[in-house]
Amino acid sequence: MKKDIQIPEVTDVEVAVVYEYNDIYKTDDWNVYIINKKNIDLEMVVIVTQGFSETKTTSLMRKKLDILPANSFAKIEFIQPELFKLHNRFQVTFFEGNTLYDKTFLFEKDTIKEGALRMISVIKKRGILAK
């Protein structure tokens, strides 16, 4: 029954937008990272992203990581500044052991900007953490 389903709370997993220099193209880019602060590997990590507003919706983007090692991070995607005018949702689903976890992270519209950058210690770069 529905009342018997236990949905565990996701802790120590974060999504961040990081402003960093791209050595290849010699540009400053915005990139999205997933951060695993747990002392255990995350398996079968699936990230579904979409930007949206009342009148616009972007295409769904999907990314899969077989394993995100303990106390590590991985780049998910480049994000274009034009999308900052939209809400940006990142739905993250993964296995920790034999337990399935799911959490939706949200960057509200106009919250991704240089003035909001803070040091993200795990990545050692400046960025913004999702809610």
Report pTM: 0.91
pLDDT tens-place string over residues 42-75: 999 999 999 999 999 999 999 999 999 999 999 9
The answer for residues whose C-beta is within 8 angstroms of residue 11's C-beta and 6 or more apart is 38
Per domain, the residue ranges of the chain are: 13-129
| Per-residue tokens: 120 | 């993200």
Q: Are residues 68 and 32 in contact, defined by beta-carbon separation less than 8 angstroms?
A: no
13-129 under CATH 2.60.40.1600, yes or no = yes
pLDDT tens-place string over residues 71-108: 999 999 999 999 999 999 999 999 998 899 999 999 99
Tell me the residue type at 81.
Answer: P
The per-residue pLDDT of the chain, averaged, comes to 94
d(CA 121, CA 131): 17
